[in-house]
Structure 1
Amino acid sequence: MARRKIIPYNPKLKELARQLRNSSTKAEIILWQKLKSKQLYGYDFHRQKPIDNYILDFFCHELMLGIEVDGYSHQLVEVFKKDKVKESVMLKLGISLLRFSDEQVLKDMDNVLRAIEDYIHNHEKTHP
């Protein structure tokens, strides 16, 4: 049996993650309705998951997949730069990231889910 990789996190972020779960955006709530309770091919996703010194909107440990839903502020240069650093840290930890805009989730959920499903299928092919 393969052992789960231990992923570091900053315990100081636990309370902030709880607050973020309680104040989710509309897009996050809608996507969560599709991911929760192992609805997507039986994979267990978590919301607002602290990892290292960051919080991922959604995370599946089995897939080593993080999903980010970006609002308007992520278009700002300063936030965009922080997102790139966060992505780099996640990649170093072996975590792949999928990013979607609020608008994509709200207006094109079929393609958002298709992209996540494609990731899952590719992951299953390469990690039997």
Structure 2
Amino acid sequence: MTERKTLKLPTPGEDTPAEAPALKKKGRGWEISESRLDVLHEQARELRRHSTPAHKALAAKFTAADLGPYSFKRHAVVGSAIVDFNCHNLGLAIAIDEEGQNEVLATRRDKSMEAVGIKLLRIPAADILTDIDAVLANLTQVMRTRIADKQKARRAHSDQMRAGRSAGRAPTRNRT
């Protein structure tokens, strides 16, 4: 009989490694088993069926808005976490903070997302329900910043590729 491995959370004082998790060719890019991913997708499906009022209000605003090439997927699985909304094109995820949520798990999720380049925006549910216009204004600003960052990175990459070609070298790609 094999021993089952369970998730063990470190105590709040215990240090966790700050390095980014290595992306593997297993579990759609993350080191996650297919069975674990199936469980996560089923949990996300269940969350979509039974959304909170704050989640429904924000989802209605996203549905009504014309965001161009950017769209937010509800209760999306990103790595081994389920976020309330995810915009894959921007590398931006939104987590709605509800009362009674486990802060240790939320902090761990935040760190793992930031380590792989996904910006996680945490919004209190009370803010969405009381002043959604201010929340949307803040979100718009964050989206504009992410778009500018992506364009800057794309330009830097293009410049690097052009410099490599002009120096007579064949362009190289990082394949890790």
What is the TM-score of this pair, normalised by structure 1?
0.84
Secondary structure of the corresponding residue to residue 73 of structure 1:
coil
Query: Which of 1 and 2 has greater Rg?
Result: 2
| 1: CA distance, partners of 2:65 / 2:57 | 15
| 2: CA distance, partners of 1:120 / 1:43 | 9
- Counterpart mapping for 1:81-120 below 5 A: 81-120=104-143
The equivalent residue for 2:67 is 40
Q: Which of 121, 124, 128 is the aligned partner of 2:147?
A: 124
Provide structure 2 residue ranges, at least 5 long, that are not aligned to the other structure: 1-27, 152-176
- Structure having the higher helix fraction is 1
| 1: CA distance, partners of 2:29 / 2:115 | 11
Secondary structure of the corresponding residue to residue 127 of structure 1:
helix
* Identity percentage of aligned residues: 29
Secondary structure of the corresponding residue to residue 100 of structure 2:
helix
- Structure having the higher strand fraction is 1
Shift of 1:41: 4.6
Q: CA RMSD in A?
A: 1.8
Q: How many residues align?
A: 119
Counterpart of 1:122, as a letter, is: T
Secondary structure of the corresponding residue to residue 47 of structure 1:
strand
Whether the 8 Å CA contact 2:72–2:87 is kept in 1: the answer is yes
Counterpart of 2:61, as a letter, is: K
Instruction: Between 93-102 and 29-38, report the one with greater CA deviation.
Output: 29-38
Secondary structure of the corresponding residue to residue 67 of structure 1:
strand
Whether the 8 Å CA contact 2:86–2:94 is kept in 1: the answer is yes
Bigger RCO of structures 1 and 2 (CA < 8 A, at least 6 apart): 1
